Amino acid sequence: MSPETLVQDNVAENISNTETEAATTDFDREQFDANVMHTYGRFPIAIARGEGCRVWDTDGKEYLDFVAGIATCTLGHAHPALIEAVTEQIKKVHHVSNLYYIPKQGQLAKWLVEHSGCDRVFFCNSGAEANEAAIKLARKYAHTVLDIAEPVILTAKSSFHGRTLATITATGQPKYQKGFEPLVDGFEYIPYNDITAAEDAIGDLDEGNRRVAAILIEPLQGEGGVRPGDLEYFLRLRKVCDETGILLIFDEVQTGMGRTGKYWGHENLGVEADIFTSAKGLGGGIPIGAMMCKKFCDVFEPGNHASTFGGNPFACAAAIAVAETLEKENLLHNVVEKGEQLRKNLRAIALNYPDLFVDVRGWGLIDGMELNRDVELTSIDIVKAAMEEGLLIAPAGPKVLRFVPPLIVSSDEVEQASETLSKVIQALV
């Protein structure tokens, strides 16, 4: 055996041993709970490793992952393109701060501009930060362009925009706001998909009562129950904003980067935003967020907003790998195809239990299955039972199941998930 072959065999054996050890790692839950703040209601498994659309816990149990880090692991787990990109980048430089030009940041910004209707990009680390940037930009635009002294941003009821103080205020769900009062001034809530309510909230500008500076809204509500936007509503919303000068802001944190079968969720509605945000799937699991805008509303100046880590070389390398792989592997086609397959299967299951389910809805690979509110069974009950059978899915509220697998999911994996879910529901009812 040649030295080269021996080295290769040793490397392969080391990888195999490492994976085996990782899959059976001892996990001390008591120690974890003693040292980590209790800000999450965690399910009782600890994930040790992943590959493709599958993950393994510390006991070695395998799961089919239809959560993908909550719509974040665009390319699944351990994708070769992502591994290569971050490995090569960490060997060069991983962080320098925005005191200097970052070539990878410029490269990623160019891709985002070319694949969207935006003209400028600001980089940060998360969806909440991206939405904070959008809120600040809208407020400065209100002061400097619209001449509004106390600007109001309209957001939708049942929305979700983040966990910072400003973004939980923007979030139209009181359960996230309780205990954190006083909330940030300048937000009002309107029903989703209700254009009359939006127009009423804006008011009659002829009477000189201009106060609404922007409308911040999700093209599809994720945490609010996987509820797609109504086409006519969004077309009318765009028209109203054009007529009044109000900024239209889309929160694309969960629906961006191919999740809906198009690069951006708002493309399903045929409208463009003045500002929109992205995170989650942008880096495929490496933290990065972006706030993008049209040139006309880019009123930020040096010192107005910043992020130490935002758009650093490491995160941008990951995001570029995700972006390029979306194109090279034609993943948008896969999202559309597998999304249709998944919804067809979910509707078939729902038809078998007409008293249990009331709706199946979604775009691409962000799909929801709504339970009848009159039944005792909750989404958490089904999520837990599915986990026992080796399928990871997520709740979107107490009565909606959410399915957001990696965009590389195969037809066989969709069938496996559907069969497991059907088995689980049969056992529960």
The CA distance from 414 to 404, in Å, is: 11
Q: Is 7 helix (H, G, I), strand (E, B) or coil?
A: helix
Which residue in 104, 280, 338, 399 is the catalytic one?
Answer: 280
The CA distance from 27 to 49, in Å, is: 13
DSSP tag of 329: T
Q: Would you say the C-alpha torsion 308, 120, 365, 79 has a positive or negative sign?
A: negative
The CA distance from 140 to 388, in Å, is: 50
How many CB atoms within 10 Å of residue 111? 17
- Sort 347 into a burial class: Cβ within 10 Å, 0-12 / 13-18 / 19+: middle
Provide, for the chain, the percentages of residues in helix, strand and coil under a 3-state DSSP scheme, each rounded to the nearest 5: 45, 20, 40
Annotated active-site residue 160? The verdict is yes
CB 367 within 8 A of CB 339: yes
Sheet of 394-395: strands edge to edge? 357-363, 366-371, 400-403, 394-395
The CA distance from 400 to 164, in Å, is: 25
Give the chain's end-to-end CA distance (angstroms, integer): 60
CB 403 within 8 A of CB 367: yes
Annotated active-site residue 66? The verdict is no
> Degrees (nearest 5) of the Cα angle 387, 388, 393?
15
DSSP tag of 300: -
Distances (CA, A) of 356 to 16, 345, 373, 414: 44, 16, 9, 22
**Residue 156, token pair as written in the block:** 């939708």
Which residue in 104, 122, 234, 251 is the catalytic one?
Answer: 251
Contacts of 187 (CB under 8 A, 6+ apart): 152, 153, 154, 155, 169, 170
Report phi then psi at 44, rounded to 5: -80, 50
Annotated catalytic residues are 160, 251, 280
